[in-house]
Amino acid sequence: MPLLDARNVHGGYGGMNILNGVDMAIESDQIGVIVGPNGAGKSTMLKAVFGLLHVSQGEILLRGEPIHNLPPNKLVQKGMGFVPQENNVFPSLTVKENLEMGAFLKPGNVKRMLAQVFEFFPPLHEKRHQPAGELSGGQRQMVAMGRALMAEPSLLLLDEPTAGLSPLYMNEIFEQVKRVNSAGVGILMVEQNAKQALGIADKGFVLAAGQNRFTDTGAALLADPDVAKSFLGG
């Protein structure tokens, strides 16, 4: 049974459909990457999975259980973590407090998970008493991912984790995504840096106009001349 199985998902804001039948399935040990042109519905699909958008048609299953249109806090309880693209930290809270908020529903786990997250992101340990608003973009992204990991999710949703980061930080974030995945967390992420992202993807989904255009393994999509020509800039 796949970890996440989205079938024929339709949805949008205020009666206007942005998603027009998206299919997406990833296994629990996989990294899924959503790429595509602007306005293709990439982030919208991620929001639909995390209950931030009304799904008008189709279904989304988490380990076979329908979860579409459940509120986000229920989905956190069911093992889903979401890292928004922007405003993804609590700026006036310290790094440690940010992480603690991630484990709000599992207060008993805080100590153990803090140690684990600090092991994943050593720079955060050093800055744990600093307000997250004072950190650099890359470190904020670590705080955001760390906060989501604190709840021990089985599926982590990342919305453009490398947006606005320098290439150096970008590679570091991709490395960390791979490490988080090998620790047993399924990943579904939206990325603008399509080539690098597909490079670490087990499954790639190329969306256009709210529908799947290509769906394959990351390597196969990178090798496909059609995909390269229309979506990866040659």
Partner 1 sequence: MNELVFFINNVVIAGSVTGSIYAIGAVGVTLIFSIMRFAHFAHGDMMTFGAFMVLLLASAFPGAGAAFGVPAALVLLPVAMALTALLAVGIDRAFYKPLRAHGVKPIVLVIGSLGVTLMLQGLIRLFSGTGGQSLYVDDRKEIFRLALPFEGVRVPVVITEPQLWLFGITLVTVVGLHLFLTRSRLGKAMRAMSDNPDLAQASGINTNTIVAVTWVIAGGLAAIAGTLLSLDVTFKPDLSFFLLLPIFAAAIVGGVGHPFGAVAGGFVVGFAETLAVFNWSVLLRPFRDSLPEWLTQAGNLAFVGTEYKIVVPFFILVVILVWRPTGIFKGKVI
Alpha helix segments (H runs only) across 121-165: 122-126, 137-149
Q: DSSP label at 88? A: -
Give 221's Cβ-side CA count (13 Å radius).
29
Contact characters 2-21, partner 1, x per CB under 8 A: --------------------
137 interacts with partner 1 by CB under 8 A: no
Which among 29, 70, 76 has a CA at the least distance from the CA of 183? Answer: 29
CA distance 216 to 207: 12
Work out how close the CB of 104 gets to partner 1 at its nearest, in angstroms, rounded to a whole number. Answer: 5
Q: Are strands 65-66 and 80-83 parallel, antiparallel or unpaired?
A: unpaired
84 interacts with partner 1 by CB under 8 A: yes
Contact characters 189-228, partner 1, x per CB under 8 A: ----------------------------------------
Q: DSSP label at 205? A: E
Neighbours of 184 (CB within 10 A): 10
Work out how close the CB of 107 gets to partner 1 at its nearest, in angstroms, rounded to a whole number. Answer: 6
Find the part of the chain contacting partner 1 (CB under 8 A) among 53-61, 73-81, 181-189, 191-199. 73-81
First and final CA of the chain: distance in angstroms?
36
User: What residues from 95 to 114 belong to the interface with partner 1 (CB under 8 A)?
Assistant: 97-98, 100-102, 104-105, 107
146 interacts with partner 1 by CB under 8 A: no
- Residues in contact with partner 1 by the rule CB under 8 A: 50, 71-73, 76-77, 82, 84, 87-93, 97-98, 100-102, 104-105, 107, 147, 151
